[in-house]
Each structure stands twice: as C-alpha cells, then as structure tokens.
Amino acid sequence: MRFDTPAQTNEIDRLKVVGKPVDRIEGKLKTTGKAPYAYERHDVAPNAAYGYMLGSAVAKGRIEGIDLSQARRAPGVLTIVTYENAGKLGKAEANTARLMAGPEVQHFDQAVAVVVAETFEQARAASKLIRVRYAKTNGAYDLAAARRTAVMPEANEYMGQADTAVGDFAAAFAAAPVKVDETYTTPDQCHAMMEPHATTAAWDGDKLTLWTSNQMIAWGVRDVSETLLIPKENIHIVSPYVGGGFGAKLWVRSDALMAALGARAAGRPVKVALARGQVFNNTTHRPATIQRIRIGAGRDGRIAAIGHESWSGDLAGGGPELAVNQTRLLYAGPNRMTAYRLATLDLPEGNAMRAPGEAPGMMALEIAMDEAAEKLKIDPVQFRILNDTQFDPEAGSKRPFSHRNLVGCLQTGAERFGWSRRNPTPAQVREGRWLVGMGMASAFRGNLTETSAARVGVDGKGVVTVATDMTDIGTGSYTVIAQTAAEMMGVPMDKVVVLLGDSSFPVSAGSGGQWGGNSATAGVYAACVKLRGLVAQKAGFNAADVVFDGGKVSSGGRSVTLAEAAGEAGLSAEDAIEFGDLAKTYAQATFGAHFAEVGVDAATGEIRVRRMSGVFGAGRILNPKAARSQVIGAMTMGVGAALMEEAVIDQRSGCFINHDMAEYQVPVHADIPHQEVIFLDEVDDKSSPMKAKGVGELGICGVAAAVANAVYNACGVRIREYPLTLDKLLAGLPATHRQAAKASGAAE
Ligand code: MOS
C-alpha cells in the first residue's frame, strides 16, 4: 500500500481497541521470567558454551603480537578467536569502526579476542592471560581541542546539508536590539539499557542463527552478511525480546560477531554478553557537542535572527551529532543560519542514542530561549508562543506543518503546572534550606516514517496471527500491533497472536528514531486491508461495504463468523506500507512542552527535581498507557542528562573511564518525583493511515533545559555546561543564602 495522500476516515478511526490503554500483552511473560532474552536461550541452545570478549587496552595503534599460549591452557577453555585465526572478515558499510580489531586498533575496548570456555568465569579468567603487544599511537580524544580542525561534513539523509542559511543572519543579528550569543556544551553520554548487548550463536553447516538483542533485524542480517562474508539467506536473526536499546542496538555489535566466530571455532553454540563495563567503550555512545547559539530579537519579542552551530567528533568516516536539526524547524524568524562541523576523534564510535540530534540540541537551544526571554522581560512560555510558526521557517510559506500544536502544549502545560505562580526574578523563593525555582522548555522531535511490511493470517478458529520482523524494545510494539490487527479484523485482543523479531518474517520499519510504532502498525494496517479483501471475497461479500466486528463479517444483512469465512485452511495476506512524498510536502514533527520545579540547596548546591509535567502533541496516541510509560522513561532520561550523565574521558588512554553504573550515574527512583504526562487529543492524517506519530524520543527532548532553566530560576546561577553538577553551582550561589543556611546549621 502506498501512502501518498492524506488518510481518509478508515477502520482505525472506530477506536474500539486502538487508542485504549491496553496492558502489555507480553507483560506477564516478562515479569514471570518466561520471555527468553538473547543470553538465556537454553530452550534452543542448551549446550551453549560461554564466550568472553577481550577488548583492546589501547585506543589507537596496531597489534604487534598476540600470545595465547597461557590462555589456551587455562581450565575449561575450548577455543580462542582473534583476527589472526578468524578467517577473512569484511567491514559492514554501516559500521564506522570494525567489530573486531586487528592489526589496526581504532578505539579503546575494540574487540581483540573472544575466549570460549565451559563457563563464563573460565572464559573471563582465561581472557586475562592473553598477552597482546600493542604499538600505541597518539589519538585525539578532546573535542574542545579538536574543534579548530573540524570540517564541514557531507550532506546525508538525516542531516540534509551541513549548512543552511535564510535571509541575512549577520546583518539582522547585528541590528537586533536584544541579543543572546552563548556557547553550550553537552558531554558524551552512554546507553544504560537494562540488558547489555548479548547474542547466542549456532551454526548448522554454513547456516548461522543469532538469537540476539537487536532493534533492526534486516539491518542486522545485512551487516552480518557484509562482516562474515556469507550470503544473507544463510543468516537467521531472532530477537523477540529486547531489554532496552536506545539506539545502541540499531546495528549488531561485537557480541554478535564474537558469538558467531566463537561458535564456528568451537563447533557448538556460543553465547556472548558484553559485561556492563564493556558496553561503554566497546559499543557506541552519544557524542559530546559544543553549540553556539545566537538569537536576535526585537523589543516586541519576535525573533529577527537565529543562528545555531554545532561541533561534534567521531571516528574517521563517522558523522556529526545532529544537534541543530530542530533549530531549522522550531521557531519563526526571517534571518537564519545553522551549521555542522565535525572533528575526527579516536573515541569509541559516536552514534544514535534516544532522539539523536534533538536530545542534545534542545538541551542548548531551550536554555538560549530562556536567556532571550529574560533579556526581553517576556515570560518564556509567551516568548515561545510569539515565535510559533505553522510553516517550515527555512522554506517560507511553501511547506506547512502536517499538524502542529506547540502552542496548545505550552498553554496546557503552563496551566496544569501552575506556571503563573512562578516568580520571574531568580533566587527569590526560599523554603527552609531550599531555593525553589520553576523552568520550562519546548519539546520537539522529527517524525520519520519507514517502509514496513507484515503478514496477517486468520485461521479456522478465527485467531488472527501477525508476523513481522518488527522489534519490541520495551516500547509496546507487541501490544499496539495487536490492537491494530484486532481493530482491523473486528476481533477481541485475545484472538490476536503477534510474532515479532525474526528475520524469516516480512521486513518492518524496525525500532529506531521513534518511527517504529507508527510505521509498523501502518504496515499491519496495510496487510489487514488485503486480508479483509480475501475474507470478503471468500465469504461472497462485496468488499466495499463489508463490516468486521465482534468476530463476525457482515454485509447486506448477512453475517458469518470470521472463523467460518476463513475456512479450515485459513487465509493469509502480506503487504507493506510505503510512504510517498507527504513528508516532503509537509514538515512533519512531534511537539510538546516540559515544565519542572527544582529545589537547590542554598549551601551545598544539591539539586532535587520536585515536580515535572509534560504535555505532548504527537498525532493519535495508539495506546495511552504504553505511550505514557515511554514518556516517563524519556523524562527520567532527560533528568539524567540534566544532572548526572557524563562519560568522562581519560585523556591519556582515550577511554571512558567511568564505565560502570556506580560512576556513570543515571537517575534512580528516589531522584524522580511525580511526573505528569498529558497527550493532546489529535490526529495527523499526513503521517500514516494510523494518523499517529511517535513519542518515545519526543519525551526526552527539552527536559534537561527545563531543569536547567528551573535551576537558574531557583538560585540565579546559569549553567551552560551539562551536566549541572553542584560544583558548577557553588561559587555562584547567593552569599546571603549560603550564610543563612550555614548559620541555621541546615547544611551541616
Ligand atoms: Mo533510536 S536513538 O534511533 O533507537
């Protein structure tokens, strides 16, 4: 099915099942331990041996020699694979760094060997006995230092051109009566999903099966084929349950290759899980950015000039963090410029992490907006409303938004949060030891769509089965897909079976870029439209006026059960949704507003988030319960970005040195107060036949800035360098408050 004109009224609009806060259909399997994850496939590979990945001890250089003699003699060791005995390996086009080092080393902890043993402990112990001689060369690990060598990156699908310009930015900025010109930094951040990368691999002759934890099954098959140099037909990837991905599992990583190589060498199934400490340096991370933002406005509060430049780094051949993308679309203003510059760094590969681009981009832009509003003496909510636009501001009035209600999000949020109670002058509100402040930010994330196929069948018992290689990374894919099929075929949820995450199923959009929910359900919609046609035909009904409802198929006063209509043999149909030019004709994006209240300890600078509210306009919400959970997770991750998360680089070794969950901190339950999540009631008929978009990434965009703006409002210290740790606050805290706190003994 081609989707190239806005959706008409269709079966989904009945909203008998879609749009309801249905519980996760796989939830019980997960909470009772019956959902097998990649590392626990005892059911299919009971005799799996354990592989342990040994990573490079240097970030850059060459392997001069590997001595395996001691390790080979260690107890339980079955085999050890390095680049010297792995056979010929290719490099997948999608990988910036090779998944196995040798002889060249490209980054710290790049896989050097996999040790296979009878137990995990034996494999890990033996890996410590491998002696690797490196010829170490100097690498570049510091973005601030490498900034001056940064170059303009080549245009690509997600970035567009590196530089954009409209009107005369320089002149308009120079002439603007009110100006902000500030530089903001965001640090390297690492994915901290619950399930580390893990794979169980088994060979049957020249056929390879990988039970792995992956977001994009078809990409995985392609990349494994390009790496192992075996045909795609010989690769079977199975990933029905994924314990979080956040972008780290968009591509297969070294666990998959190590397991495959280990299993081939050992002659039996092998499983490899990256230890938590390995996830940080062996896989990918969100790259640090330096962002300069200039906003020039008239006294009336209208933006006359807006400029956003971002510097980031990556390994040679990598790409920039897309931190200025939202600035091309979010606010009006006749004179504009944006630019990306990319430095070469020898850190682990920089890549996608929840809302790549907008997450760090909004961290900076939305502080700059707060600063501009303050200089203009305009309320920050009002300032954003004043500069709203219904058109892509880089395309004049030629390209409207498909649906945009940023203003509704801002107004609803302000009202629900009690924004009118905020004192606009910083450091005025005191509750005991706490300085209390409120801050807000817009939320913005693009709306991407991807081709997505599914097969839907109905059997002689009236059970509807959906099969697609779509993944559920904790997002609720199983459930929204079941809701879609139930709605389309007119059956209750318990008559729908959903099979996901298997490369033998039709190729879906996969889980990435918050496109999965909308695109994958639209693919299921397309297959169901086809299946309905087959059912109607078999029952002798006119497809145009046939109604599927309550397990029955009816037309012209006649009615049969779906089971009868399908017959003993059942019926099955496969189709894909393919998106035409509606994303070019219309700017498509998702919107929201974040509000936060924080307390800052007047003496110690400790920051506690006290309340948060988020309001979102993101098309039809397919399942409000699942969507709310997504957004709560995203807002929590936004608090992490604001206050805690920073992968600290050891400049001597090129290693993220705080590579564990004790030193790389993310919020725990006690850090997160009540979060209110509100979805505006809307549909977007240009987005898909589902009229939905995505929320999983939208929810993180803007959160950190709302917190930073609240901290400023609380204590008057403006921090432009994330994360907002208390050392950055101390010197600026109002002296009177500190003394008063000390005098009362509150901080002691
Ligand atoms: Mo997402 S960062 O595209 O999984």
- pLDDT tens column, 180-210: 999 999 999 999 999 999 999 999 999 999 9
Helix extents (H) in 458-515: 477-489
Sign of CA pseudo-dihedral 535, 541, 544, 550: negative
Buried b (16+ CB within 10 A) or exposed e, 366-390: bbbbbbbbbebebbbbebbbbbbbe
> Is it true that 2-35+449-581 and 392-447+588-747 share their CATH fold?
yes
270 strand-pairing partners:
49, 201
pLDDT at res. 748: 39
**Dist. CA 361 → ligand 1 center (Å):** 15
Q: What single string gives the DSSP state of each residue in 114-133?
A: EEEESSHHHHHHHHTT-EEE
Burial level of 557, CB count in 10 A (0-12/13-18/19+)?
A: exposed
Q: Centre a 10 Å sphere on the Cβ of residue 122 and count the other Cβ atoms it contains.
A: 20
pLDDT at res. 747: 45
Domain borders along the chain are: 2-35+449-581, 392-447+588-747
d(CA 201, CA 230) in angstroms, rounded, equals 15
Give pLDDT < 70 ranges for the chain: 736-748
Structure tokens at 135: 């010829």
CATH code matching the domain that covers 2-35+449-581, chosen among 3.50.50.60, 3.40.50.300, 3.30.365.10, 3.40.50.10470: 3.30.365.10
Backbone angles phi and psi of 318, in degrees to 5:
-85, -170
Closest of 293, 191, 240, 272 to residue 29, by C-alpha: 240
With the most atoms of ligand 1 within 8 angstroms of its CB, the residue from 697, 698, 701 to mutate is 697
Sign of CA pseudo-dihedral 432, 644, 634, 662: negative
Q: What single string gives the DSSP state of each residue in 571-611?
A: EEEEEEEEE-SHHHHSB-EEEEEEEEEEEEETTT--EEEEE
For β-strands 335-344 and 303-314, DSSP reports them as: parallel
> Could you give the percent of the chain with pLDDT greater than 70?
98
Side-chain-facing half-sphere of 337: CA atoms under 13 Å: 17
In which residue are the tokens 């039709």 written?
Answer: 506
What's the maximum distance between 2 C-alpha atoms anywhere in the chain? 87
| Closest ligand 1 atom to 356 CA | 2
* Cβ of 216 below 6 Å from ligand 1: no
Q: Name, in order, each residue with C-beta under 8 angstroms of 114's C-beta and a sequence gap of 6 or more.
A: 51, 52, 53, 54, 80, 81, 258, 259, 261, 262, 270, 272
> Could you give the percent of the chain with pLDDT greater than 90?
97
pLDDT at res. 413: 98
pLDDT at res. 237: 98
In which residue are the tokens 């929840």 written?
Answer: 354
Sign of CA pseudo-dihedral 164, 166, 168, 172: negative
* Cβ of 328 below 6 Å from ligand 1: no
**Dist. CA 360 → ligand 1 center (Å):** 14
* Cβ of 242 below 6 Å from ligand 1: no
- Residues annotated as catalytic are 697
**Dist. CA 397 → ligand 1 center (Å):** 31
d(CA 475, CA 459) in angstroms, rounded, equals 28
d(CA 471, CA 219) in angstroms, rounded, equals 12
* Cβ of 352 below 6 Å from ligand 1: yes
CATH of domain 392-447+588-747: 3.30.365.10
Burial level of 740, CB count in 10 A (0-12/13-18/19+)?
A: middle
Please give the span between the terminal C-alpha atoms of the chain, in angstroms, as a whole number: 67
* Cβ of 353 below 6 Å from ligand 1: yes
With the most atoms of ligand 1 within 8 angstroms of its CB, the residue from 157, 191, 354, 445 to mutate is 354
Side-chain-facing half-sphere of 365: CA atoms under 13 Å: 29
Burial level of 71, CB count in 10 A (0-12/13-18/19+)?
A: buried
pLDDT at res. 738: 57
* Cβ of 354 below 6 Å from ligand 1: yes
* Cβ of 513 below 6 Å from ligand 1: yes
Closest of 619, 747, 623 to residue 682, by C-alpha: 619
